[in-house]
Chains A and B, each alone.
Chain A
Amino acid sequence: MNQDSQDKSAMDSLMAAWMKSATDFWTSAPKMWSFSSDASTAGSGDSQGFEAQGSGRWQNAFKIWQSLFSTLSNPEAMEAFFKGAGATPEIFMKISRTGMQGYAAFYQQWLKKAGKLAQPEKAYHFENLDENVFNAWKDLYEKEIQPFLNVPQLGLARSYQERVNETLDRFNLYQVQLAGLLRMLYLPLEKSARVMEEKLEEHSRDGKLSENFKEYYETWVKVLEGHYMTLFKSSEYLEAFSNTLSANENFKLAQHSMLADMLQSLPIPTNKEMDDLYKEIYLLKKTVKEMAKKLAQQETSSRSSRDAAV
């Protein structure tokens, strides 16, 4: 007999003992309940029928529990139970293995690209930027985390939970886009510092170096301005800018839906409710204004025709 089967048989007997004691408990519990119920309701008149009904329901419930535990005490059922329980760590292992694989892939990409990030970029050029680190981050998120947030929810509160998950999801996507955009906004600072180094070297070679710090600052600001202008017109920036705005707006929309759920329990109207009301007021006001204008015009024309007749 190997160690595994010994462990299993020990576990079986432990489980059987626990099942037996649980079954005994559920067998004696209705009797105890019946006794205490009888004692408390003795001579209470009208309420006796109701108490008796309640006691009957409890007894039924106890019987169901009792039969459930008896069934579970069977060796076959016990084996099935252990099989299921044994499978659980496997599931967890599988999930974590997938997660770890994704993380490792991301980490590898990160290492590969982090070196590239540190490499100086060419001045006044923003095309073909290496944004793979952010893409890798996004990929990892979309493959490993997002599916968990998109798991269909069940039950009464499913819509509420879905909106919470959606908010979390949109927030994460927004963060990824924002990080990419912020990195782009940092690039001109890096590039202009490099240009300044080159300019200083050049001036030094030509013996034109100024002693005035302000002159260096002015040159730097001018270079920085030029870099930003070039960046802001690049298709890479425009894409990042547009994606970040959309991600921010999608996050805000999801957040508003979640907050609207929370506000439902408070005596506070939601934006949507107020907007509906504002729209109605706007349309009514517009109609009233148009009618008032038409009336005024009619009055003016009838007055002028009266004046003409006089």
Chain B
Amino acid sequence: MSPTKIPVDLILNKLTEDVGKSQERILKSQDVLLSPLDTSIATTPYEVVYQEDRVKLKYYRPARKGPIKTPLLLVYALINRETMLDLQPGRSVVQNFLNDGVELYMIDWGYPSRKDRYVTIDDHVNGYMDNVIDFILRRHKLPKLNLMGICMGGAFSVMYSALHPEKVKNLITTVTPSNFDTDKGLLHVWMKEVDADLMVDTYGNMPGDFLNLGFLLLNPARLMIDKYVGFFENMDDKVFVENFIRMEKWIFDSPDVPGETFRQFIKDCYQKNLLIQSKLELGGRRVDLKNITMPLLNIYGRFDHLVPPEACELLTSRVGTKDTEDLCLNTGHIGIYVSSKCQREFTPKIFGWLKERDESEPVHAEKATVSRLPRAQKVAAKGRKTPMASS
């Protein structure tokens, strides 16, 4: 058997060369790191037009009037912050909507403190969200608005639309988990093993840092090693460093999650998968997905490791409307909102979809309660599926 011939000399030569380059890079990076850096996030101007407890409603005024008359409300998750939608100039979902003349509102859930530990999903959906939506509708003298939810905020939007369909004109869900009975995403596997009762009884609210540690552990090789190796390799590049720090700022800005909300989300959604079966109950009312009679656009990421396509794609087949569309982008959980490639596809797609529906359906002012809603109110059937849209 011949001994393995590894060109150690060549590797060492290359390594020495690399070490030389690294030293040069470190010297250059000192200039970058010690110089003033622009790492601010969420810089688009807004106005807080409504506030209830810790929850604020941000209003972004478009520079010009656009073709969509109905305002759009963005509902972010309780995990991390909505600032991700306005991360940096040139990579801002908010800015893109404003450029299209969309009247934009966004819920800022704030930082829950110990006193918020008893706040439930019902309080978020039928309390804060409903009050915010009533406020916007009064402000614009409209009976309905367009609703867009992100991740857990998407799940809240689905629940809201099923309980208050009379107030939602069009529903857009992005990277929204609705089917939790899948083992494709590690989060789904892990959450089944968690004793949510013990966790909430111990911690009160779920600490943001604790959750973040869990997210890092989903892929330690990439998120705890490779990411920082990448930073080290590019830390002489000012723009790269600024963008990197912006992302770090956003990722580790993690509010705690109210205990009772966390408990119910884990038990009823991740462990019992009640939402997709229309068996979830909020405030004594059943969340029947068949009540979702407004048009639905469902967008998710093919490489999303937190909310895999399997967790998202079932929704359109379970709702009451047939005007549905699934759009699977070739990206991950966050890439949908921040990657430059998706910036060119994501908001233009939503804008076009909303524009089509905003013009087609006349605005009517009468209010209908959930129970009085006729099934026949469904929009003309389309039921499209657009996989690989971004490829």
Q: Which residues of A come within 8 Å of B, CB atoms?
A: 185, 188, 200-201, 204-205, 209, 211-214, 217, 221, 224-225, 228-229, 232-233, 238-239, 241-242, 245-246, 249-250, 252-253, 256, 271, 274-275, 278-279, 281-283, 286, 289
Q: How far is the CA of A225 from the CA of B114 in the complex (A)?
A: 37
Q: Is B374 close to A, CB under 8 A?
A: no
Q: A233-B183, A241-B190, A253-B202 are in contact. Are A228 and B219 (CB under 8 A)?
A: yes
Q: Which residues of B come within 8 Å of A, CB atoms?
A: 4-7, 10-11, 13-15, 18, 114-115, 117-119, 123, 127, 183, 186, 189-190, 193-195, 198-199, 201-204, 217-222, 225-226, 229
Is the pair B115, A278 in contact by a Cβ cutoff of 8 Å? yes
Q: How far is the CB of A291 from chain B (nearest CB, A)?
A: 13
Residue of B18, B117, B189 near A213 (CB, 8 A) is B18
Is the pair B202, A252 in contact by a Cβ cutoff of 8 Å? yes
Is the pair B118, A204 in contact by a Cβ cutoff of 8 Å? no
Q: How far is the CA of A217 from the CA of B226 in the complex (A)?
A: 9
Is the pair B115, A245 in contact by a Cβ cutoff of 8 Å? no
Is the pair B14, A221 in contact by a Cβ cutoff of 8 Å? no
Q: Please, could you name 21 A-B residue pairs with CB atoms under 8 Å apart, sorted by A?
A: A200-B4, A204-B4, A205-B4, A213-B11, A214-B18, A217-B229, A225-B219, A228-B219, A228-B221, A229-B186, A238-B189, A239-B193, A241-B193, A242-B193, A242-B194, A253-B201, A271-B204, A275-B114, A278-B118, A282-B115, A289-B127
Q: How far is the CB of B306 from chain A (nearest CB, A)?
A: 13
Q: Which 3 A-B pairs have the closest CB atoms?
A: A225-B221, A249-B202, A242-B193
Additional pairs, 20, CB under 8 Å, beyond known A225-B222, A228-B221, A245-B195: A204-B5, A205-B4, A209-B6, A211-B7, A213-B15, A217-B229, A221-B221, A221-B229, A224-B221, A232-B218, A233-B186, A233-B189, A238-B193, A242-B195, A250-B198, A252-B202, A271-B204, A279-B118, A282-B119, A289-B127
Q: How far is the CA of A279 from the CA of B260 in the complex (A)?
A: 11
Q: How far is the CA of A229 from the CA of B181 in the complex (A)?
A: 19
Q: How far is the CB of A181 from chain B (nearest CB, A)?
A: 10
Q: How far is the CA of A253 from the CA of B193 in the complex (A)?
A: 20
Q: How far is the CA of A283 from the CA of B6 in the complex (A)?
A: 71
Q: Is the interface of B mostly helix, strand, loop or mixed?
A: helix
Chain A residue nearest in CB terms to B202: A249
Q: How far is the CA of A246 from the CA of B198 in the complex (A)?
A: 7
Is the pair B204, A275 in contact by a Cβ cutoff of 8 Å? yes
Q: Is the interface of A mostly helix, strand, loop or mixed?
A: helix
Q: How far is the CA of A233 from the CA of B14 in the complex (A)?
A: 38
Q: How far is the CA of A233 from the CA of B198 in the complex (A)?
A: 23
Q: How far is the CB of B263 from chain A (nearest CB, A)?
A: 13
Chain B residue nearest in CB terms to A281: B115
Is the pair A249, B11 in contact by a Cβ cutoff of 8 Å? no
Q: How far is the CA of A214 from the CA of B233 in the complex (A)?
A: 11
Is the pair B119, A249 in contact by a Cβ cutoff of 8 Å? no
Chain B residue nearest in CB terms to A238: B193
Chain A residue nearest in CB terms to B189: A233
Give the most central of A211, A241, A279: most B CB within 10 Å: A211
Q: How far is the CB of B230 from chain A (nearest CB, A)?
A: 10
> Chain A residues near B217 (CB, 8 Å)?
232
Q: How far is the CB of A142 from chain B (nearest CB, A)?
A: 21
Is the pair B190, A249 in contact by a Cβ cutoff of 8 Å? no
Q: How far is the CA of A252 from the CA of B204 in the complex (A)?
A: 12
Q: How far is the CA of A229 from the CA of B204 in the complex (A)?
A: 30
> Chain B residues near A246 (CB, 8 Å)?
195, 198
Residue of B4, B15, B204 near A201 (CB, 8 A) is B4
Q: How far is the CB of A12 from chain B (nearest CB, A)?
A: 60
Q: A204-B4, A281-B115 are in contact. Are A238 and B190 (CB under 8 A)?
A: yes
Is the pair A221, B115 in contact by a Cβ cutoff of 8 Å? no
Q: How far is the CA of A236 from the CA of B18 in the complex (A)?
A: 40
Is the pair B118, A221 in contact by a Cβ cutoff of 8 Å? no
Chain B residue nearest in CB terms to A207: B5
> Chain B residues near A211 (CB, 8 Å)?
7, 10-11, 13-14
Is the pair A249, B195 in contact by a Cβ cutoff of 8 Å? yes
Give the most central of A209, A281, A283: most B CB within 10 Å: A209
Chain B residue nearest in CB terms to A185: B220
Residue of B14, B114, B189 near A274 (CB, 8 A) is B114
Q: How far is the CA of A204 from the CA of B114 in the complex (A)?
A: 59
Chain B residue nearest in CB terms to A225: B221
Q: How far is the CB of A210 from chain B (nearest CB, A)?
A: 8
Q: How far is the CA of A246 from the CA of B17 in the complex (A)?
A: 50
Chain A residue nearest in CB terms to B218: A232
Q: How far is the CB of A190 from chain B (nearest CB, A)?
A: 14
> Chain A residues near B117 (CB, 8 Å)?
275, 278
Is the pair B199, A221 in contact by a Cβ cutoff of 8 Å? no
Is the pair A200, B195 in contact by a Cβ cutoff of 8 Å? no
Q: How far is the CB of A254 from chain B (nearest CB, A)?
A: 10
Q: How far is the CB of A8 from chain B (nearest CB, A)?
A: 59
Chain A residue nearest in CB terms to B9: A211
